[in-house]
């Protein structure tokens, strides 16, 4: 299914301004869902933020803040929280999906009866579903149909920086003619810039795999291995992302852009990165169980790590994949407890010598 939708050219058949100032449903009240609600409301759009917990819903509506995520930012009056899908989707024109990938299938299945056949969906989630090994484009298509108008946003975009209105650039991918440009026109401002591409697979792979590379980068930091090691690890990690993306039919240009190298750099070096922080704490000797139990934020790279190894095995029949994708395979082994972070990173330095590719 992944290979079947590698893309066509974006045609400007949808009017980017046709539904300006429309109502959005944002599915998911985590950090990125809240940041997107803030971004949309500041541009004059009504937003219904569909959340799970009644107490969070009440606090957003009464105190204008989410007590669990980005609590320092006040929601404009155009944002309303609700736990009722029927209420959220009433007279809505667009939907943004901001639920972590591992919980997306259940969330989308619940709201599917309320999604109109022509309602454009913008996915903000990055990762690979465990078990099915589905990227969000496959998962979303499986639930609402492959022909449903949908687009996928990715790039170096931390939720807190978006909420703080710091300059951010992203890329939006879609196979629906003109839809990427339509969403781009809606979201873009003097602090939020959108680029477009038809390469959905490239955008999805870059956004998913960078979280795994960030865990490795964090371990490098936690172990105190220095700048040289960090730079080498991130660069070679980008090479592994490119190999996988090309095997799935993506474009190398996409992996060299915002959703690939750009997002990888931001996640590996940015202090706000949850995945990087998981790696730092692993490198400092904490157990994965302790780290995950101490946070209410989801680090997608942990679940994605094991899935990406299985995805590689399915789509690349080369001999010794552990040598072709040593960082991705190495992180999976560390998260499974088969190696310590120090053993895993030492193994990278003692691999057979080879030509750089």
pLDDT in tens, 231-257: 999 999 999 999 999 999 999 999 999
Decide if pLDDT at 10 tops 50: no
> pLDDT tens digits for 29-70?
999 999 999 999 999 999 999 999 999 999 999 999 999 999
> pLDDT tens digits for 112-167?
999 999 999 999 999 999 999 999 999 999 999 999 999 999 999 999 999 999 99
CATH number of 202-349: 1.10.1040.10
> What's the pLDDT score for residue 300?
83
Q: How far apart are CA 169 and CA 148, in angstroms?
A: 26
What are the phi and psi torsion angles at 318 (to 5°)?
Answer: -65, 160
CA atoms within 13 A on the CB side of 76: 15
Q: Does domain 3-198 have CATH number 3.10.20.30?
A: no
> What's the pLDDT score for residue 319?
66
Contact 285, 233 (CB under 8 A): no
Q: Which regions of the chain carry the CATH code 3.40.50.720?
A: 3-198
Q: Which regions of the chain carry the CATH code 1.10.1040.10?
A: 202-349
66 is in an annotated binding site: no
28 is in an annotated binding site: yes
Q: Residue 16: pLDDT band by 50, 70, 90 thresholds?
A: very low
What pTM was computed for the model?
Answer: 0.91
Q: How far apart are CA 314 and CA 3, in angstroms?
A: 12
Decide if pLDDT at 9 tops 50: no
> pLDDT tens digits for 294-350?
887 777 889 999 999 999 999 877 767 888 999 999 999 999 999 999 999 999 988
Query: Is 210 an active-site residue?
Result: yes
CA atoms within 13 A on the CB side of 85: 13
- Closest among 51, 55, 59 to 26, alpha carbons compared: 51
Q: Is 257 exposed, middle or buried (0-12, 13-18, 19+ CB in 10 A)?
A: buried
35 is in an annotated binding site: no
- Closest among 177, 182, 238 to 205, alpha carbons compared: 238
103 is in an annotated binding site: yes
Which residue in the list 23, 53, 210, 338 is annotated as catalytic?
A: 210
206 is in an annotated binding site: no
192 is in an annotated binding site: no
61 is in an annotated binding site: no
265 is in an annotated binding site: no
> What's the pLDDT score for residue 45?
97
181 is in an annotated binding site: no
């Amino acid at each position: 299914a992944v290979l079947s939708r590698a893309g066509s050219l974006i045609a400007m058949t949808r009017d980017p301004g046709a539904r300006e100032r429309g109502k959005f449903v944002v599915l998911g009240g985590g950090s990125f869902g809240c940041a997107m609600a803030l971004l949309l409301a500041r541009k004059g759009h009504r937003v219904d933020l569909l959340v799970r917990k009644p107490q969070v819903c009440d606090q957003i509506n009464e105190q204008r803040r989410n007590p669990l995520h980005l609590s320092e930012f006040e929601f404009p009056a155009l944002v309303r929280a609700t736990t009722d899908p029927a209420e959220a989707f009433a007279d809505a024109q667009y939907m943004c999906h901001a639920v972590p990938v591992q919980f997306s299938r259940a969330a989308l299945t619940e709201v599917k009866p309320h999604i109109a056949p022509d309602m454009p969906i913008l996915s903000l989630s990055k990762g690979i579903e465990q078990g099915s090994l589905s990227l969000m484009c496959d998962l979303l298509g499986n639930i609402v149909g492959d022909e449903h108008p949908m687009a996928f946003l990715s790039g170096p975009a931390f939720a807190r920086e978006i909420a703080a209105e710091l300059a951010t650039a992203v890329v939006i991918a879609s196979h629906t003619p003109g839809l990427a440009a339509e969403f781009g026109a809606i979201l873009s401002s003097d602090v939020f810039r959108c680029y477009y591409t038809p390469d959905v697979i490239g955008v999805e792979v870059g956004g998913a795999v960078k979280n795994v590379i960030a865990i490795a980068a964090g371990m490098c930091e936690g172990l105190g291995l220095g700048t040289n090691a960090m730079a080498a690890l991130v660069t070679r990690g980008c090479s592994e992302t490119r190999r996988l993306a090309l095997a799935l039919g993506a474009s190398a240009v996409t992996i060299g852009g915002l959703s690939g190298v750009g997002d990888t750099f931001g996640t590996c070096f940015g202090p706000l990165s949850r995945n990087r922080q998981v790696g730092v704490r692993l490198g400092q000797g904490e157990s994965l169980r302790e780290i995950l139990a101490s946070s209410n934020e989801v680090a997608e790279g942990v679940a994605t790590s094991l899935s990406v190894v299985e995805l590689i095995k399915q789509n690349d029949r080369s001999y010794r994949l552990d040598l072709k994708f040593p960082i991705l395979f190495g992180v999976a082994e560390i998260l499974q407890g088969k190696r310590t972070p120090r053993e895993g990173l030492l193994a990278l330095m003692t691999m057979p010598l080879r030509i750089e590719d």
